[in-house]
Amino acid sequence: MTTASPATALTDTVLYEERGGVALITIANPPVNGLGDMVRRGLADGMARAAAGAAVRAVVLQGAGKLFCGGADIRQFNTPAATAQPMLREVNRTIERAVKPVVACIHGVALGGGLELALACHYRIADAAAQLGLPEVNLGLVPGGGGTQRLPRLIGAPAALKFITSGKPVDARQALALGLVDAVIDGEREAAAIAFALDKADSAAHPVLADKPPAAMSAAEMKAQREALNPKARNATAQRTAVDCVQAATELEFEAGLDRERALFDGLVAGQPSKALRHLFFAEKEATKFSSTTARAIRSVAILGAGTMGGGIAMAFANAGYGVVLCEREQAALDRGLALVRRNYEISAAKGVLSAAEVEARLARIQPTLDMAAFADADLVIEAVFEDMAVKRAVFAQLDRICKSGAILATNTSRLNIDEIAAVTQRPQDVIGLHFFSPAHVMKLLEVVRGARTSDEVIAGCMRMAAAIAKIPVLVGVCEGFVGNRMLTGYWREAGFLLEEGATPAQIDAAMQGFGFAMGPLAMADLAGMDINWATRKRLAPTRPKHLRYSQVADRICEQGRFGQKTGAGYYRYEAGSRTPIPDPVVDGVIADCAREAGITRRAVSDEEIAERCVLALVNEGARIVAEGIAQRASDVDVVYVNGYGFPAWRGGPMFHARSLGWKQVLQKLQALHAQHGEHWVPAPWIVQQAGQA
């Protein structure tokens, strides 16, 4: 007869039960069974109780709910709880030194510290649907609970390095092939785990990774691993540190390797890049939240406009399994759009990302048409036509007549007033802005623009839809340029002023890349097309205060028909078929003329001044956006700028970067710039408030 003891709580987060000679230790710390201080204490107590139990022959470690363990509780980082005893290192040592076999029974996920906990066990079995990974590098960290020392001893140093530096999880079958788990189970996992543990109970010895010799890896192999890393990756510092940790595993005895791992981990936790990446991790989760009792269902999608943006949006939905109706006015334009979509998919296939069958399946989800009547049954219609208010209002008047009651009517405008567009319909509550970023099938950011009368259920439906197509949605309000492009105006403004004052386009772009941007502002303008923003400046010219300084440089360049890469010349010139920017004396002459006409004596401008002025322009405008409620929170501004505009993730976004500098220091810098350069630099009242609270 199977004997069992009732489950008892060792702590609020760990349960203990004995069943048929097996101690079941269960982590019950929702939502992810994180390894907080009380969990670690409970695990240590459970192992002590199992060791002392005369009837206990083996131990099974498992997780309650939907998963095994999602890793460390990062909410406790930089708090006393993070260093409360016992640390994970001590818990893991207790597990692997146990005389009785300890089996990790993994379901759902074993990530980060959760997988490190499992590596300390003598055996690991996994549910067929489980995912296992060490994603710490995505937070600017390395595994700090022995993962970089045990994993190389289990699967070899090269495989461990790839596993750790990628931060990507593997499924149970892949884990079995790697040697990461001992068995994959189907069916009732607890019964299977008990049977597996009892089968190992009579073994004379159990595998202990700490006792294995260091994993061998030559200096040449280690060098190749380092050189394969992308130095511009958002988590580059953590990836390089991970290589250092694994190198320690190949050269040092186990305990010395753990010491090295922990020292490097602690350095990363205290460092700015990891703090920034952890800030973004929580910010991106927070940005997706929108409370509504109901959400409008979106099952079918229609897109008007098959250009670069419309085609990219169609791909984003097709990639997620949606059927898409793609409409154009003329057959030639529709054919061009579909050809571009196919070409993009074929590029992915050539890289091994998609199979030929997957390409055809995704293309088959896109139904081309020249008739807007095909939109009649769509749940969501997205307009992606020319950025002109009159054109968009005419389109929405048509959509209002064609689309079914309850359909969501969305515009992909990057800066126009949603309320003016909604006003031509009889259903302003169903009108919303969905500002995708180009290329829309690649870029993660989606600005969800709420109009004055947009209903909560429409917003909620679009926020859920964004998650379904793997986008990061940020809810924003109506204003010129919303969040991202409104801030970009000040960023480009300062770049223009700095050109007149003495900098060159190449110096400005190099300075901003040195700060960490993926691309400098002027090269970015050339890539996006200078004519787009020229049209915006001309539209806004009648309302621009005449007493404020205005740089004519960008306008003069556009007046020469230089719109960037598309015309072979903009701030730079471009050779045929090349995207490499080449400094152009013609532009130098335009800049000199504009400076002379404005009465500016050109001077030497430092890279530090360039970076500071351009970034603080973003910060100051971001603060106004937060105060006006255009963004719900300052962290939303960071999510927009990191995911849509190339702001370095390891700096956390403009608002987190400013907070890291200190709001008092930021205010002092803005006040100095105001005194030197005038009204553009009036400090935002929100920053004054933050500085007063610091």
Residue-wise pLDDT for 154-169, tens only, equals: 999 999 999 999 999 9
Distance of CA 628 to the CA centre of its chain: 26
pLDDT at 11: 82
DSSP per-residue codes, 89-135: HHHHHHHHT-SS-EEEEE-SEEETHHHHHHHHSSEEEEETT-EEE--
Could you tell me what percent of the chain has a pLDDT over 90?
Answer: 93
The domain limits of the chain are: 8-270, 300-476, 484-629+662-693
Query: Which two tokens mark 354?
Result: 């998609």
What distance in Å separates the CA atoms of residue 14 and residue 21, rounded to the nearest whole number?
19
Strand-pairing partners, residue 183, are 125
Could you tell me what percent of the chain has a pLDDT over 70?
Answer: 99
Under 8 Å between Cβ of 646 and 443: no
pLDDT at 1: 40
pLDDT at 217: 84
Residue 77, pLDDT > 70, answer no
As annotated, the active-site residues are: 116, 136
- Reference 386, options 462, 329, 452, 454; nearest CA is 329
| CATH class of the region 300-476 | alpha beta
pLDDT at 10: 83
CATH assignment of 8-270, given 3.40.50.1000, 3.90.226.10, 3.40.50.1700, 3.30.1490.190? 3.90.226.10
CB atoms under 10 Å from CB of 512, counted, come to 27
Residue 137, pLDDT > 80, answer yes
Q: What is the mean pLDDT of residues 599-621?
A: 98
What distance in Å separates the CA atoms of residue 38 and residue 85, rounded to the nearest whole number?
9
- List phi, psi (to 5°) of 550: -140, 130
CB atoms under 10 Å from CB of 127, counted, come to 20
Question: Helices 521-528 & 530-540, crossing angle to 10 degrees?
Answer: 90
Which pairing describes strands 366-369 and 380-383: parallel, antiparallel, or unpaired? unpaired
Residue 573 per-residue DSSP state: B
- Residue 213 banded pLDDT, cuts 50, 70, 90: confident
What distance in Å separates the CA atoms of residue 427 and residue 397, rounded to the nearest whole number?
10
- List phi, psi (to 5°) of 661: -65, -30
- Reference 117, options 191, 235, 33, 48; nearest CA is 33
Residues with Cβ within 8 Å of residue 131, at least 6 apart in sequence: 108, 109, 110, 111, 169, 170, 171, 172
What distance in Å separates the CA atoms of residue 450 and residue 539, rounded to the nearest whole number?
23
What distance in Å separates the CA atoms of residue 100 and residue 173, rounded to the nearest whole number?
27
What distance in Å separates the CA atoms of residue 558 and residue 541, rounded to the nearest whole number?
15
pLDDT at 43: 97
What distance in Å separates the CA atoms of residue 110 and residue 118, rounded to the nearest whole number?
8
Which CATH fold would you assign to the domain 484-629+662-693?
N-(1-d-carboxylethyl)-l-norvaline Dehydrogenase; domain 2 (1.10.1040)
Residue-wise pLDDT for 526-552, tens only, equals: 999 999 999 999 999 999 999 999 999
Average pLDDT, the chain: 95
Residues with Cβ within 8 Å of residue 456, at least 6 apart in sequence: 290, 292, 294
Q: What is the mean pLDDT of residues 94-112?
A: 97
Measured torsion, CA atoms of residues 34, 39, 43, 49, in degrees rounded to the nearest 10: -150
What distance in Å separates the CA atoms of residue 450 and residue 447, rounded to the nearest whole number?
9
- List phi, psi (to 5°) of 630: -65, -40
Instruction: Walk across the sheet containing 300-304 and list its strands.
Output: 366-369, 323-327, 300-304, 380-383, 408-411, 431-436, 445-449, 472-476
Residue-wise pLDDT for 404-435, tens only, equals: 999 999 999 999 999 999 999 999 999 999 99
As a whole number of Å, the CA-based R_g of the chain is 29
Q: How many helices (H) and strands (E) does the chain have?
A: 28, 18
Largest CA distance in the chain: 97
Give the C-alpha distances (Å, rounded to integers) separating 442 from 19, 317, 436, 678. Answer: 51, 12, 10, 40
Read off the pTM. 0.92
Query: Which two tokens mark 373?
Result: 């009547």
Of 75-89, 278-292, 297-311, 577-591, which gets the smallest average pLDDT? 75-89
Residue-wise pLDDT for 276-299, tens only, equals: 999 999 999 999 999 888 999 999
Residues with Cβ within 8 Å of residue 588, at least 6 apart in sequence: 504
Q: Is the dihedral of CA 291, 295, 300, 301 positive or negative?
A: negative
What distance in Å separates the CA atoms of residue 208 and residue 121, rounded to the nearest whole number?
8
Under 8 Å between Cβ of 240 and 229: yes
